[in-house]
Amino acid sequence: MIFNLFAKAASSSNDGEISFDELKQAVESQSCAIVDVREPNEYAGGHIPGALSLPLSRFSPAQLPEGKPLVLVCLSGARSARALKQALEAGATEVRHYSGGMKGWRANGGAVAT
C-alpha cells in the first residue's frame, strides 16, 4: 500500500508530501522508515514511535536507512522539506515528508514515544 502511495505521490504535484492519514497507516503497518530530522533534544521530547533520529544540522542522505520507503519528519515541515530536497538530489526515490511535522502529528492524535 505505501509503495502505491509513494508512486502516486511521485507523480503528483504535492512536493513529496504525505497526509496525516497516510503517515498514520504507514506507521501502524510498519511499511516505511520514519526519519526525524529535529535536533536530539527535540527528538527526546517525543517522536513518532520507531522513528530514527538524523538531525538536519548534520544530515547526510548517505545515512538514510535502506530497504523501505522513507518519511521525513520535523517540527512543522520546514526542515523535513529541506532534508527531502537533499535526499532527492542525492538520488533517493522512495522518500517523502510529512509537512504537518510533529505539531500536526500530535494535533491529530498521533502516537508519541519518548
Q: Is residue 6 scored above 60 in pLDDT? A: no
Q: Is residue 18 scored above 90 in pLDDT? A: yes
Judge whether 62 and 84 are in contact, CB under 8 Å. Answer: no
The tally of CA atoms less than 13 A away on the side-chain side of residue 6 is 17
Taking the CB of residue 89, how many other CB atoms lie within 10 A of it? 9
CATH homologous superfamily of 2-107 equals Rhodanese-like domain (3.40.250.10)
User: What is the pTM for the complete model shown?
Assistant: 0.88
- Percent of the residues in the chain that have a pLDDT greater than 90, as a whole number: 85
For the chain, which residues make up each domain, given as ranges?
2-107
Q: Is residue 10 scored above 70 in pLDDT? A: no
More confident residue, 3 or 103: 103
> What angle, 0 to 180 degrees and rounded to 10, lies between the N-to-C axes of helices 20-29 and 2-11?
150
The C-alpha cell at 70 is: 522513507
* Three-class DSSP category at 113: strand
- Please give the span between the terminal C-alpha atoms of the chain, in angstroms, as a whole number: 28
Q: Considering the chain, what is the average pLDDT of its residues? A: 89
Give the pLDDT band (50/70/90) at residue 15. confident
> Over the stretch 36-71, which tens digit does the pLDDT of each residue have?
999 999 999 999 999 999 999 999 999 999 999 999
Q: Is residue 22 scored above 70 in pLDDT? A: yes
DSSP class of 51: P
